[in-house]
Structure 1
């Protein structure tokens, strides 16, 4: 065999050992191949077939992707197959140990289908019930969609879930995970407090647990009129300590430099007000003492809330 090629052989019905596929009538032979994936022998389901086209093996991509631990889905509107197999990285700071990732959004009529994976760390081979939600936001910090996650067989191995939400929110900017219930135990969110910036007319919701642990430092570049508002972990201030920063741009400056800033830095847009654009950014380097476990843990605890703080942004506030 010249090479092994992943083909799009999902859902074809094979009536004989020689079939014609595609509009130009390529001749394909059924290929009696067996599979060994990551050292394990895997039987091919009856619904799937392997084809031999001109010496190339075409295998069902869903079968291979799922056995490699990836999520996969097909977007009919775009005629596109999506496959994700990255490290799970989405968590709820109010409940440590549950991680979600490899999220794929596809259109399903007037709704959005969400496919992803969830795993629970430190539970061995036990199975657990989980109820959670994924909330999706646009780049103006407006919630545009939500789906529920629930099941009774989640554990230490990543388990695929599929859910559906109202409307089309495939072009979301940010997604937040909230764990609502684990094995019958309700999970409460950390109380919040409001940070008010009267000068620039916006608010953020900060965790109540941040109280007395941070300070705000403001700076402005007179030439570009760019304003930077940094939220700093007091305990790690000697090492930088910046947890996140709010940037305030003129629309002209953002139009000229915003795209480049997003490409080279950890920065994203969170809102607009009049002729100003608001962004949030996180540091690209270490901002805490890595040799001090207590300071490291405190900084990471603060930074775990940045995603939730990001979507709490609200502009056009009239203060009294």
Structure 2
């Protein structure tokens, strides 16, 4: 397949592009630094600086849209909120414009989203049928998905990737948590009852390939493992995997004034299950957190 990937040089994107190349797909990566793309993946992978390179005569079989600025790293000023929208909704809109003009449309469009669309839902089990919330993160995801929906009117199969916490020591949350936990400074967040819906990066990549290759799959998919845990359990299991103890607690009252609206990302939670993915027949290699941490390279 000839595939265009946005966000292909990020923590998840690198693993996905390498897997696509491994299986023989022809990949083009949209990157702000296109010269780095062949250096990362080899000369067979093209790097594009912008979507203006997608002319009507250019034909892709699939588009995988993983672009998006990190959501928690910087304060949510109005300027930052707009940057988050532009990096998600803006890029998605540009992709739809290019698809519309393309002489031959892609067969499938896999477009990013996140389980943040559900907001803070406590311990209630959440599936793809659960409603969207109204906080900023949820609205951002809703608008992100809505920007992708016109693909269906073009005859392009659409899958929305509602991504959970992706685990691997190469990046993301685990890379940030490893050192303090290794030093014995790991702590639960608040009372630790908020659910964390996670997925090993290997399973995330394989789930994307599964959706890519199964034409009956369309609509929203929770990309999370089938066994979410609360923050207390996650903290203890991560500490155990590093042969440490986690006896500390970070009070919500301490971080909430510093994080503002972003505090919901740490102290809110969702007990999300991959109902649609499992119903389609996908099998997880790392269905439990113990299995995932053992393989994720944190120790």
Tell me which of the two structures has the higher relative contact order, counting C-alpha pairs closer than 8 angstroms and 6 or more residues apart. 2
Compare the two structures and name the one with the higher helix fraction: 2
TM over 0.5: no
TM tier relative to shorter chain: under 0.3
Normalized per residue, the structure richer in strand is 1
Task: Calculate the TM-score normalised by the size of structure 2.
Answer: 0.23
